[in-house]
Amino acid sequence: MTLSRSTKRHKAETGKELMSDVGSVDRFSNVLSGVVKLTKTLSDGRQQIVGLQFAPDFLGRPFQAESTVTAEAATEVELCSFPRQALERMMKEQPDLEHRLLEQKLRELDQAREWMVALGRKTAAEKIASFLLMIARNIDPAAGPERRGASFDLPLSRAEIADFLGLTVETVSRQITRLRGEKVIRVENNRHVTVDDIQRLAARAGD
Amino acid sequence: MTLSRSTKRHKAETGKELMSDVGSVDRFSNVLSGVVKLTKTLSDGRQQIVGLQFAPDFLGRPFQAESTVTAEAATEVELCSFPRQALERMMKEQPDLEHRLLEQKLRELDQAREWMVALGRKTAAEKIASFLLMIARNIDPAAGPERRGASFDLPLSRAEIADFLGLTVETVSRQITRLRGEKVIRVENNRHVTVDDIQRLAARAGD
DNA sequence: CGGCCTTTTGACGTCAATCAAAATTTGTGG
DNA sequence: CCACAAATTTTGATTGACGTCAAAAGGCCG
């Protein structure tokens, strides 16, 4: 994608709020590396992560934003960000862009619905397995489709995983411990996960 | 929207499967009246409703469909349906169409994320209140924004509501009974609901 | 009226939440 | 590099909200 002159690049430290659809922040970005989490919060503080964006996803909600989603860097993130105006000009000049945006949003919608099934109908154990599987597929640098194993750093803390899966930290921890006990995964430094046999993990995802 | 010659109109009886994104069914529709439910099912039969489409929503997932969503009529439905080919031709002739499709998909994405919060973080009571509120806003014929009350037929059975909210039929029934006992809603014939004070209902939705 | 399906109600069980505290990791300054 | 503080993760004990199982009540249509 060619960038207009008004774009800028920057790194965001972990946890930094990148943009909130709720208010005046009126920018649009491209995730160059890292993971961005989209969260929604209830008035009493309960939180739910409603999406994760990996490179090279677009980031932002064009055409008005009433949806009160907050985007935060989950890991070190490199963004290429530009004002809404630039996006809209680019879309005029290059209608293909709007098409690609539609395709990405359709993918996001598919993913959101995938997670609705997990949130509504899967057990804690199945949620964790599904989550690890999803991360493995998105993050493992050598993620060929025919790989038997995978190894990756979790982009989220236990608390964030809980917010993603509609669980508590304690339940997340227990389920990960259980998977480790059953040798489905190995965990180093709490963040690095190795899956020797992805099929065995997939078998626990409940699909 | 102008319809190409190859389009057709038909009514679907309740419960009829309209299209499945999984396979060869390759049509695209417009909901003219009624409610269509989008469901996903796990291999052991657990089901989750991942979306409800009200008139005048589009229905269908253009540009390949790997997402195994099934669309079914929840009520009597009038559709205007046409083959994918027609849609793609129409999009070429009228680029505005693709733009409107994008806007609708963005709305659907917002809604999906709204429900992710409910599924992951709300209590059974809050889920029911949120659901009734959503239906009231979409269905009540006289739903002016400044109405104090609302009255409508539920487009879903208790079992379907359960599948939408990630609950069991029994829990749905108990929560509705509870709301009735507290005079937040009145229910006639199990399907018709009257809300005298929408604010009181909204206060229980937990947002 | 009678069978069938949906909804409600009741008794009980269980999975995940809550509460509490220990263990481990991470970060900071000397 | 180590010592200490803070944050994160794990583990344990207990509770509670919702699920499960069972049966009664209510609607719908022949």
CATH number for the domain running over B123-205: 1.10.10.10
The boundaries of every CATH 2.60.120.10 domain in chain B are 3-115
Query: How does DSSP classify residue A102?
Result: H
The boundaries of every CATH 1.10.10.10 domain in chain B are 123-205
pTM above 0.85, yes or no: yes
Residue A12 is predicted with a pLDDT of 61
Q: Indicate the residue of B103, B112, B121 with minimum beta-carbon distance to A63.
A: B103
Position A196 pLDDT exceeds 90: yes
Which stretch, A13-27, A104-118, A128-142, has highest mean pLDDT? A104-118
Mapped onto helix, strand or coil, the DSSP state of residue A6 is coil
Residue A88 is predicted with a pLDDT of 85
Per-residue pLDDT, averaged over A70-89, amounts to: 91
Give me the residues near strand C, CB below 7 A.
A 123-125, 166-168, 170-171, 189-191; B 157-159, 169-170, 172-174, 176-177, 187, 190-191
B159: the nucleotide nearest its CA (via C1') is: C6
Flag residues of chain B having pLDDT under 50. Answer: 1-6, 21-24
- The CA distances from residue B110 to A7, A171, A182, B169, in Å, are 26, 28, 38, 26
- Report whether A197 contacts A79 (CB < 8 A): no
User: Residue A172's CB: how many other CB atoms inside 10 A?
Assistant: 24
- D strand bases under 7 Å from protein CB: 8-13, 17-22, 27-28
Query: What residues in A contact B109, CB-CB < 8 Å?
Result: 105, 108-109, 112
Task: State in Å, rounded, how far the first CA of chain B is from the last one.
Answer: 36
Question: Of B71, B12, B49, B52, which Cα lies nearest the Cα of B155?
Answer: B52
Per-residue model confidence as pLDDT tens digits over A25-75: 678 899 999 999 999 999 999 999 999 999 999 998 877 666 789 999 999
- Label residue A1 by pLDDT band (50, 70, 90): very low
- A191 phi-psi bin (left φ>0, alpha ψ -120 to 50, beta other): alpha
Architecture of the CATH domain A3-115: Sandwich (2.60)
Residue A24 is predicted with a pLDDT of 43
Q: Cβ contact (<8 Å) for A67 and B110?
A: yes
Question: Of B46, B116, B37, B67, which Cα lies nearest the Cα of A207?
Answer: B46
Nearest CA in chain A to B67: A110
Residue B6 is predicted with a pLDDT of 44
Sequence-separated contacts (24+) of B204-207 with Cβ below 8 Å: B204/B125, B204/B126, B204/B129, B204/B179, B205/B122, B205/B126, B205/B129, B205/B130, B205/B133, B206/A42, B206/A43, B206/A44, B206/A46, B206/B122, B206/B123, B206/B126, B206/B129, B206/B130, B207/A42, B207/A43, B207/B130
User: Closest residue to D19 by CA to C1' distance?
Assistant: B168
Residue A9 is predicted with a pLDDT of 52
How far apart (Å, rounded) are the C-alpha atoms in residues A66 and B114?
A: 12
Residue A60 is predicted with a pLDDT of 85
Q: Å from B119 (CA) to C15 (C1')?
A: 17
Spatial strand order in the sheet of B192-195 = B150-153, B192-195, B185-188
Pairing assessment for the beta strands B58-59 and A192-195 based on DSSP bridges? unpaired
Nearest CA in chain A to B45: A207
Which chain A residues have any C-beta within 8 angstroms of a chain B C-beta? 38, 40, 42-44, 46-48, 50-51, 61-63, 66-67, 69, 95, 98-99, 101-103, 105-106, 108-110, 112-117, 119-122, 163, 165-166, 206-207
Tokens of A27: 């920018």
Residue B27 is predicted with a pLDDT of 83
Radius of gyration of chain B (CA): 18
Q: Indicate the residue of A62, A109, A166 with minimum beta-carbon distance to B112.
A: A109
- Report whether A36 contacts A77 (CB < 8 A): yes
How far apart (Å, rounded) are the C-alpha atoms in residues A187 and A185?
A: 7
How buried is B46 (Cβ within 10 angstroms: 0-12 exposed, 13-18 middle, 19+ buried)?
A: middle
Tokens of B151: 């009255």
Position A7 pLDDT exceeds 50: no
